[in-house]
Structure 1
Amino acid sequence: MARVYDVRPAGPADLPLLAAIESAADALVTDLLACDPALFDATPGERRDADPGFLLVVDRPVVGFAQVLEEEGTAHLQQLCVHPEHGRLGRGTALVEACCAQAAVRGYDALTLTTFRDVSFNRPFYERLGFVVLDQPGGVLARHLRDEAAYDAVSPRVAMRRAW
């Protein structure tokens, strides 16, 4: 039986905890790719909460979060982080599914994202959840890839989309 997690909109008490969760999750990537941790800069939860879109968290106290940006008629999964001490148990999946459901309720027909192509807990994880790689992304998605070009120096990035 699949575990059920408490996925909910982020509240004011959750926001100060998000940057530490992001830093801990980023350490998994920097260790795996043997790259400079300075390449990753955790964003304060308060700043994420101010962006257009929505911010979901999992568990109490919060151990993971997902940020979806709403921009130019799209819903884009900007960040998904679960603290490594709580990872690989379904919380990330629960967050992604909740993001898809919330995006659908808000009238979107898909959720997009960008991620590392060759990191096992990135592209393959999203493929298992129904996302497909887009060979020629345009618009907002192409801009996200351009904005993240510095990451290509350590591992190629891909754009992905899940439609419903």
Structure 2
Amino acid sequence: MLIRRARLADVVFLPVLERSAAQAFQDIAGLEWVVSHEVMPEAEHEEAVRTGLSWSALRDGEPIGFAVAAEHEDGLHLLELSVAHEAQGHGAGTRLVEAVIAAARERGKVSVTLTTFLDLRFNERFYRKLGFVRLTAAGMPERLRDCLAHEVALGLPGERRCAMRLVL
């Protein structure tokens, strides 16, 4: 498996990978709709590639996953991590998150943040194994509170969401 910075030529594959990754939600009560939810537009992927904040995972030269981050003054925020459904559970997600963490360090950042589901093994528990810590409301930066509120406005169940941070 190869993890590298995404290229503009990769962008056409990334929405397909995100839709495939969403298949993991098809049997989760109350979250089945995620399978048909909108994915990140190609224009956003292109911008992330141009700013060096997008990574691709390839197996035998074929894209199987990606990560996209956004830069904030003190850290990177993981916007999206998607691994094709049939490729999940084989380390691509871990390696992609490690690439985001390495990029944060290279840019002199002090943390990596994200939002995720609390109760799914491939979400909060996955990130916890990588060193991320769930933030309490009192310890949460306003931008993460705003991010969670935006997700609720999009239809995600707020009681099942959390924000997490890895201090570098």
**One-letter amino acid of the structure 2 residue matched with residue 118 of structure 1:** D
- The offset of 1:47, in angstroms, is 2.0
CA distance in 1, matches of 2:52, 2:7: 14
Shift of 1:143: 1.3
Matches within 5 A, 1:47-126: 47-51=44-48, 54-59=53-58, 60-126=61-127
| 1:163 corresponds to 2:167 | yes
Q: RMSD over aligned Cα, in angstroms?
A: 1.8
Task: Name stretches of at least 5 consecutive residues in structure 1 with no aligned partner.
Answer: none
- Residue type of the alignment partner of 1:8: R
Please show how residues 2-81 of structure 1 align to structure 2 within 5 Å: 5-34=1-30, 35-37=32-34, 40-51=37-48, 54-59=53-58, 60-81=61-82
1:36 counterpart SS class: helix
> Which is worse superposed, 47-56 or 110-119?
47-56
Contact 2:134 2:164 in 1 (8 A): yes
Using the TM superposition, give the Cα deviation of residue 100 of structure 1 relative to its aligned residue in structure 2, in angstroms.
Answer: 0.1
Instruction: Name the % identity.
Output: 33
AA partner of residue 128 (structure 2): E
| Matched AA of 1:58 | A
Give the drift of 1:39.
6.6
Q: Which residue of 1 aligns with 2:128?
A: 127
Q: Which residue of 2 aligns with 1:141?
A: 144
Q: TM-score, normalised by structure 2?
A: 0.86
Task: Give the match's secondary structure for 2:38.
Answer: coil
Aligned length: 159
The one-letter code of the counterpart of 1:56 is: W
Q: How many angstroms apart in 2 are the aligned matches of 1:84 and 1:152?
A: 23
Tell me the TM-score normalised to structure 1 length.
0.88
